[in-house]
Amino acid sequence: MKVLIVLTSHDQLGDTGRRTGFWLEELAAPYYRFKDAGWEITLASPKGGQAPLDPKSNEERFKTDQTRRFEADAQAEAQLAATVRLDTVSADDFDTVFYPGGHGPLWDLAEDAASIRLIERIAASGKPLALVCHAPGVLRHARNPDGSALVAGRRVTGFTDSEEEFMGLTKVVPFLVEDELIAKGADFSKAGDFEPYVVTDGLLITGQNPASSGPAATELVALAGDGAA
């Protein structure tokens, strides 16, 4: 199985002067679910090269066994330093796609034409797609072949308004994931703040927050398992 992991290239947290990017656990946990399943992993980002890590996600209180494993993994770190440009990849070359979150995707991937095309192609091709935490927000402009919103009528989850309020960033982010998905017609559900929660609707998998990234990846491996080499 070949999986494309799509990371943000955006590293500025609005006008706060603080850094952002992808959330480490949301890359590391899925990365090793896929690697341990024997999958071939490709990392991509809009700009290519080094994808920016949200420094907050690497604070001691947020570290996990998987984030420590990633940091000690020279091959993984080399992949992260040399992500391929998103506009150079084809959905046809992959069996599935996974989007980690972090706040960065709200600024770039949510508006990125290559990302939107990729999501629409994966969905139209009948391949599974998984997105966690803030990443479900990148579905906002994706559409079905008939022009309807991709998430309309679909069961989804993502980083909630109350979780964003807890982070103190409701006035900083360009949009709130929960509100945006509901506005696009999605059937949004959630668990308690920062509790692991995954929703699977057909071939679309969404996870609520960082703790949901590993379970979402496990669900993706199970869903795509019939095609595993």
Q: Tally Cβ neighbours within 10 Å of residue 25.
A: 27
Of the candidates 107, 128, 94, the residue with the CA atom closest to the CA atom of residue 46: 107
Reported pTM:
0.97
160-203 confidence digits (pLDDT tens): 999 999 999 999 999 999 999 999 999 999 999 999 999 999 99
Identify the CATH homologous superfamily for domain 2-227: Class I glutamine amidotransferase (GATase) domain (3.40.50.880)
49-60 confidence digits (pLDDT tens): 999 999 999 999
Find out whether 152 and 183 touch, Cβ atoms under 8 Å. no
Q: Is 117 exposed, middle or buried (0-12, 13-18, 19+ CB in 10 A)?
A: middle
pLDDT of 229 reads 35
pLDDT of 2 reads 97
Mean pLDDT across the chain: 96
**pLDDT lower than 70: segments of the chain:** 226-229
| In the block, residue with structure tokens 């996600």 | 57
